[in-house]
Chain A
Amino acid sequence: GAGVSQSPSNKVTEKGKDVELRCDPISGHTALYWYRQSLGQGLEFLIYFQGNSAPDKSGLPSDRFSAERTGGSVSTLTIQRTQQEDSAVYLCASSAKTGLYEQYFGPGTRLTVT
């Protein structure tokens, strides 16, 4: 079956611009996660959604970052007024439920802020 898909695969933007990154989870998966992977750093948790519950935003690095999930499926991560330190690969993952269920990752969006 289809895996997690993300778009765009690459995004180059100028400092100060807003960007939107999209994630389509595996069909039927109720939990969705966003992570960030920077050069030399491990994967860093950003936010997760589970069904209709309020999202856990505890990993968002600043109020310039926000995310929403529409209809319990597609999610959009928005970064406002991008900074050079936002350059990273943004990874989305989904799992059948939260808890001890393996998370399946998409290919990521490589964001470069110039």
Chain B
Amino acid sequence: EDQVTQSPEALRLQEGESSSLNCSYTVSGLRGLFWYRQDPGKGPEFLFTLYSAGEEKEKERLKATLTKKESFLHITAPKPEDSATYLCAVQEYSGYALNFGKGTSLLVTP
């Protein structure tokens, strides 16, 4: 059973069309939830860490939020350069490895 599930698998947006990506998780004790961006042929690029329910973080057009069961990555007025795969990962108190979801592939068209 997957501990981290991301939806949708793929999302196509028009430039300027805001939307949200979802990451739902099932863990016994959440130390932190991480969002990464991955461009084709590159390693994941760190975006945010969220520690506790109710926390929010923002960076340019991106805002990440966290509840006890899921996290959202809100993209406001996206641009074509926001096209990438967005990965969510959780870290439990029982270890230090990141447990990743399979990602959401975002395409923003002009």
Contacts and interface: CB of A to CB of B under 8 A. Distances in A.
Interface of A: 4, 31, 33, 35, 40-45, 48, 50, 56, 58-59, 91, 93, 98-100, 102-108
Nearest to B34: A102
B46 A91 contact: no
Given A40-B102, A50-B96, A91-B43, 14 more contacts: A33-B96, A42-B103, A43-B100, A44-B100, A56-B95, A59-B97, A93-B43, A99-B31, A99-B96, A100-B91, A102-B49, A105-B45, A107-B41, A108-B43
A38 B45 CA distance: 18
Interface of B: 4, 31-32, 34, 36, 41-46, 49, 51, 87, 89, 91, 95-103
Q: Which 8 A-B residue pairs are closest in the complex by CB-CB distance?
A: A105-B43, A45-B97, A43-B100, A42-B100, A98-B96, A42-B102, A100-B32, A102-B46
A41 B46 contact: no
Contacts of B49: 100, 102
A103 B98 contact: yes
A105 B44 contact: yes
